[in-house]
Structure 1
Amino acid sequence: MKREICTALMLEAKQEKGISFQQIADEIGRSIVWTTSAILGQNTCDAIESKKVCELLGLGIDIEKAFQQFPSKGTEAIMPPTDPLIYRLYEIVLIYGDTIKQVIHEKLGDGIMSAIDFNMQIEKEENPNGDRVKITLDGKFLPYKKW
C-alpha cells in the first residue's frame, strides 16, 4: 500500500471514531506534533507504535505495515503554500528568516538549527483580546565544520 493511501485511511478512521491526535499520541507515548506528522506521512512509526495506532483506529495489517514505511519528507508540499495558515508561517520565514539567521549566528556562531534533532510544541494561550498561538521550535545547533 502506498503511504499516501495509508494517510488518507488513517485520517478517515480518526474522524469516524472521533479520536484526537492527542489521544493517538498518548497511546504511543509521543508528542502530539510528532504523532500528527507521522500520521500525515512525514515521520515513521516502528512496529509497536504502528500496531497500537492501527488497533486504536480499527485498521488492518496492510495499513500497519504502510505506516512503517520511510517517508519522502516534504515532497507533497506546494510552494509557496496556498493554505492560509501554512502560508502565514511561510510568510513569517520570508519576512523574518534573515533576522532569525543573523540572530542565531550572533548568539551561537556560524551554523544551522537541526530539523533532525528537533522538537516542536504548539500551545494555545488564552487572551482577553483573542486567543494566541505559541509555537516553540527547539533544534540542536550544528556549527559548520572547517576542514
Structure 2
Amino acid sequence: MQFFIDECISPQVAARLNETGRHAAVHPRDIGRRGDSDHVVLRNAIAEDRIIVTENARDFRGLVGREELHPGLLILPCVSRDRCLQLLEAAIAFLEIEAARADEVPADHMVNRVIEVDATGLCRIYRLPDND
C-alpha cells in the first residue's frame, strides 16, 4: 500500500515501512513538502493515491469528510515513535483482515474509509463521507 506519513509523525516511520518491501511510504521531509497545509496534503494524497497517516484527527476528518472520493485516512494517537510504528502495523494488519472479509485488496477497502487507532491498539473503521 501507499502511505503519506504526516509531518506530525517521525520520518523514521515512513523509512521503516519502506524497509518491509510491502509498502511505499513518503514523509514531507523527504520529498520537499514540509509545511504544506492540510488541504494541500490531502490534495496530493488523492492525486498520488496515498492513504494519509496522521495524529491530526480533527482537521483531517473534516477535510476527508468533504471529499467525494479519497484513498483513506489512518488516525493514530500521539505516542512515541516506536509505539507509533507498532500501532500503524496493528492498523495495517486490522485492515488486511477487514479487506479479506470483504474479498477486497486492502488499498481498495480503504477508499473513503477511516481507521482510528487508540493507544491500546484498538482499531475502528468507518466510512467518511458516509454516503451509504
> TM class by shorter-chain length?
under 0.3
TM-score w.r.t. the length of structure 2 is 0.27
Larger radius of gyration: 1
